[in-house]
Structure 1
Amino acid sequence: WGFNPVVMPWPDVPIALKQGVITGLDHTPMVCYITKKFEVAKYFTRINYAQGLFIWIFNKAWFNTLPTTLQKIFVDVVHDVCANIRKETVVQEAWAIDEAKAKAGVTFFDLSEEEHNILKKEGNSVYKDFAADINKLYPTDTYKPKDFLKEVQDYLGYKP
């Protein structure tokens, strides 16, 4: 598709976009809108593979000091909050897209089914190339699945 992915520190992205060092980026519409990337990037192709990241970080030692009943309540609440955040994200993303179109003149594109199938096919080759690295186990791993990549793909309903 004529692009060459590069890794770049997030603070460098706005200047790199403005100076033409990079000509695009991979992020959600909401992040692109609220971080003003759409002031420069005027085209967005939706491939709908990700939502913005919201990562829960807790101290395992602290968590393990909680009574089992409280641990269960805690985990259940985190799951409920995550489900609500996913629903809110859909609404927020629609708002960001509307704002980007109206205020920044961004044009949004959707892949055709044929283009999406090409993307999937090309993506599958990357999975195959990196499966051994993804599935590599380390001595300190406490969870040792036979095929972690397949486990995640099955969980997500991924079909090559």
Structure 2
Amino acid sequence: MMLLLRERRRRIRRTFRRRRSFWIRPWLATDRKLQFGHYDQLMNELRIEDEPSFFIFLRMPPVMFYELLNRVGLRIKKTDTLFRRALSTGLKLAITALRHLATGDKYSTLQYDLRVARNSISKFLPEVCRAIVDEYKDEVISCPTDPIDWRAIADEFP
């Protein structure tokens, strides 16, 4: 009796389940991203034709962007699957480090600018931040080890 009730519930759920209208929204498709997205079009144009505007857009010069990309690229790279191609490491870095962290843009704004779905951004953004921290922590972030160093830091605060 219990099995019959369970099976009936499953059938009812299947009939009322909303069908997906898209696997991916057409305006987020890879071909349109390559054709109209800021990363694939605007950034290449700015890098080649107008470096000061590239700096304004990403808050760093092209040389620094590509150096950062070389250092964290392998940490954030994903493999392609049979279903879809992975997002490029440069696109992930541009979204995370340079647009989101530098300007505070929300995921929804980034979605429309760079043609990457909000849910995808929310997945890879923490991974990219972690990769940047892991790569630069020994060079940039130093923690005081003795009381004299701690006192010097404390003296900087009123």
- Indicate the TM-score class for this superposition, using the shorter chain for normalisation: under 0.3
Higher relative contact order (CA 8 A, sep 6+): 1
TM-score relative to the length of structure 2:
0.23
TM-score relative to the length of structure 1:
0.23
Is the strand fraction higher in 1 or 2?
Answer: 1
- Which of the two has higher C-alpha Rg? 2
